[in-house]
Chains A and B, each alone.
Chain A
Amino acid sequence: MVENRPWMAWITHLVLLCGVLLVAFPLWVAFVASTHAGGDLLSGVTPLLPGDRLFENYRTVLGSGLSASGGVPVGLMMWNSLVMALSIAVGKIAISIISAYAIVYFRFPFRMLCFWLIFVTLMLPVEVRILPTFEVVSDLGMLNSYAGLSVPLIASATATFLFRQFFLTVPDELTEAARVDGAGPLRFFLDILLPLSRTNVAALFVILFIYGWVQYLWPLLVTTDESFYTIVMGIQRMVTVADAEPQWHLVMATAVLAMLPPVAVVVLMQGLFVKGLVETEK
C-alpha cells in the first residue's frame, strides 16, 4: 500500500465481498434447492435457507437417479466422469512427456515436422471437427466405451509445449554427467528427468483433471448407452424432460455433485492449480 487512505480500504473490501457473493450466490441457491422437497420448489419462489431433505435427496440421486430421465444413478455418472477425467489426465501427461523428451533430447530426421504436426492440434479444438471425428470414432467401434470418451481428447500440444519448455531449462551438465556415468537415454529419462519434472506433472495433472471432468460436447456425442453417461452431460438429460417441469431439487443435487470434485481439486491444490494454469497458457 502506497499511502494510507482508510476509506479506500473499506471500498476494497466491499468490492471483494460483492465479488465473492456474486460468485457464490448460484452455488448457494443450488445447494439450498437440493435440500428441499420437490414440492417446495414448485410453489412460489426458491427459498433461501436450507430445508431438511439433504440426505434423502442426495441418496435418491446417487443411488437411483431420476426416473424421468432414464434413471441412471448419479453415482455411476460420477464414476464415469472420474474414469474419463483420470484417463485424459494420465494419458495426456504420458504421451506428451515422452514426445517432448524425444523432440528435445534427440536429433533425428523429421524432428521439426513432428513438432509442427503436434503444434497444429492447438488449432483444431474438438468443436470445429465434430462430425468427422465422430465418424472416425464410430468407425473404430469406440462409441459407448471409456476409450472413446478419452482417447480422442488425449493428444495435446499444450502439455507437450510445457514439457518442452521445462526440459530446455534442465542444465546440460546433468545430461553429460549421466552420460559419463554410462546412463543411456531411457535410464536418464526415468532416473533424472522424470523426478525433476514432478511438480510440473502435478500441476498439469490438476489442470487436465478439470479439463477432463468438465467435457460436455464429446461425451454427449459418443455415449448413447446410459451406463456411459458422464455427470456433466447427464444433467442436461435431466433438465430437458418432455412436457414437465424438471425435478429441480434432484437436478440441483446433481449439479452440486458435478461441481464438487473439480472445485475441491482447485481449492485444495490451489498452488499447483495456479502454477499449472499460468504455465499451460503462456
Chain B
Amino acid sequence: MHKRVTFRHPLLPYLLVLPQLAITFVFFLWPASQALYYSVLRQDPFGLKTKFVGLQNFERLFSDPTYLNSFDVTIVFSLSVTLSGMALGLLFAVMADRVVKGAATYKTLLIWPYAVAPAVAGVLWWFLFNPTIGILAYALRSLGYDWNHAVSGTDALILVIVASTWKQVSYNFLFFLAGLQAIPKSLIEAAAIDGAGPARRFWTIVFPLLSPTTFFLLVVNMVYAFFETFGVVHATTSGGPGQATTILVYKVFNDGFIGLNLGSSAAQSVILMVIVISLTMIQFRFIERRVQY
C-alpha cells in the first residue's frame, strides 16, 4: 500500500528514520550478528584464545543430553501452557459472551493478570505452593499428595506451568471474546431455529468461525511460553531441581552468564532465533491470508 500524495525532501525522511534505525543497528542487528559469529567460535577456558570451529558448537549441543533434555522440557512446558491457557481463555470467553448482565464486570475481573509480570506471577504461585507454609501444598497434603517442588521435578514443572498459564489466560480470554463478538448472531440464530443445541452450535459453527483467532493465539502463546516465561523460571525454581524446569531461554542465560560458555550460549541463541523467526513467519503468512468463511 502506498500513499498517493507524498512529500519530497532531500534530508528530512532520513532524519526521521535515523533514531529507530540507529537503535535497531546497535542493539538488534549487531548483537544478532555477533551471536551468529560467536556460535562458530570456541574460547579456551581462560578466554585467551579463540578459534574457528565451524558447526562444532551446534554438533556438541545436539549430542549433549542436558541440552536435549532442555528441549523436551521446553516442549512439554510450552504445549501445556499454550493448551491450558487457551482452553481456559476460550471457556471464559464463551461464558462471558453469553452473559447478559454483568459482562463488563466479569471482563474487568478477568483481564487484570495480563499486567502482572511473569516473575511476580511465579513468586505468587511459588508462595501458594510452598511446601511448609503454602496453602495449596497444605490442601494437596490433606488430599494425600506430598507436594514438594524443591525435590520433585514434576512438581516444579507443574508449578511453573500453572504460574505461566495463570498470567496468560486473560490475554487469550480477551482475544477469544473479541473473536466471538465478531461472529454474526444471525448464523447462531439460524442454527438454533434448525434445532441445534448450545453444544452443537458451538462445535459446528462458533468454533470453526473462531479458527483465525485460535491459530493466531496458538503462535502468540508459543512465543510467550518459549521466551517471556524466563522470569517465572528464574524467580522461582532456577531451572531445578536438577534440570527439570530448565527451558531453552533459561539455559542460554545460564550457560552464557553463569557458565560463561560463550560459544555454546551463542549457538543456543542462534537456535532460538531460528525458532522465533519461524514462528513469526508462520504468524505473518497466516495473517496475510486470514482464514475466512
A residues neighboring B (CB under 8 Å): 1-3, 5, 8-9, 12-13, 15-16, 19-20, 22-27, 29-30, 33, 41-42, 44-46, 48, 94-96, 98-99, 101-108, 111, 114, 117-118, 120-125, 127-137, 140, 151-152, 154-155, 160, 167-168, 172, 175-176, 179, 184-186, 188, 210, 213-217, 220-221, 232-233, 235-236, 239-240, 245, 248, 251-252, 255, 258-259, 262-263, 265-267, 270, 273-274, 277-278, 281-282
Contacts of A117 in B (CB 8 A): 21, 24-25, 29
Report the bound CA distance from A273 to B32 in whole Å.
Answer: 32
B118 touches A155 (CB 8 A): no
* Residue B38 CB within 8 A of the other chain: yes
Query: Known: A117-B29, A217-B253, A263-B115. Contact between A26 and B124, CB under 8 A?
Result: yes
* B3, B92, B198 — most chain A CB neighbours (10 Å): B3
A136 touches B31 (CB 8 A): yes
A125 touches B276 (CB 8 A): yes
Report the bound CA distance from A123 to B26 in whole Å.
Answer: 15
Interface residues of B in 195-219 (CB under 8 A from A): 198, 201, 216
Within the complex, the shortest CB–CB distance from A149 to chain B, in Å, comes to 12
Query: Known: A2-B192, A235-B120, A248-B127. Contact between A266 and B91, CB under 8 A?
Result: no
* Residue B77 CB within 8 A of the other chain: no
Report the bound CA distance from A223 to B30 in whole Å.
Answer: 22
Interface string of B165-177 (1 = CB under 8 A from A): 0100111001100
Within the complex, the shortest CB–CB distance from A18 to chain B, in Å, comes to 9
B127 touches A131 (CB 8 A): no
* Residue B109 CB within 8 A of the other chain: yes
Which residue of chain B has its CB nearest to the CB of A32? B135
Report the bound CA distance from A131 to B120 in whole Å.
Answer: 24
A128 touches B273 (CB 8 A): yes
A213 touches B109 (CB 8 A): no
11 contacts between A and B (CB under 8 A): A22-B166, A94-B19, A102-B12, A123-B277, A125-B227, A129-B34, A155-B28, A213-B117, A217-B230, A263-B116, A278-B178
A255 touches B123 (CB 8 A): yes
* Residue B147 CB within 8 A of the other chain: no
Give the contacting residue for B120; candidates A42, A134, A232; CB below 8 A: A232
A136 touches B170 (CB 8 A): no
Give the contacting residue for B29; candidates A13, A111, A120, A140; CB below 8 A: A120
Interface string of B96-109 (1 = CB under 8 A from A): 10111010001111
Give the contacting residue for B133; candidates A45, A111, A123, A185; CB below 8 A: A45
Contacts of A27 in B (CB 8 A): 124
Chain A facing B: main interface SS: helix
Contacts of B102 in A (CB 8 A): 13
Report the bound CA distance from A95 to B18 in whole Å.
Answer: 9
Report the bound CA distance from A114 to B20 in whole Å.
Answer: 9
* A1, A8, A132, A221 — most chain B CB neighbours (10 Å): A132
Tell me which of B54-62, B66-74, B264-272 binds A.
B264-272
B127 touches A29 (CB 8 A): yes
Contacts of B108 in A (CB 8 A): 267, 270
Report the bound CA distance from A152 to B26 in whole Å.
Answer: 8
B235 touches A239 (CB 8 A): yes
Contacts of A258 in B (CB 8 A): 117, 120
Give the contacting residue for A111; candidates B13, B170, B189, B201; CB below 8 A: B13
Which residue of chain B has its CB nearest to the CB of A185? B7
Give the contacting residue for A233; candidates B7, B119, B138, B249; CB below 8 A: B119
Contacts of B133 in A (CB 8 A): 41-42, 44-46, 248
* Residue B158 CB within 8 A of the other chain: no
Q: Can you name 11 extra interface pairs (CB under 8 A) apart from A23-B169, A214-B120? A: A16-B96, A22-B166, A23-B166, A46-B135, A99-B19, A118-B17, A120-B28, A128-B273, A217-B230, A255-B120, A281-B216
A106 touches B6 (CB 8 A): yes
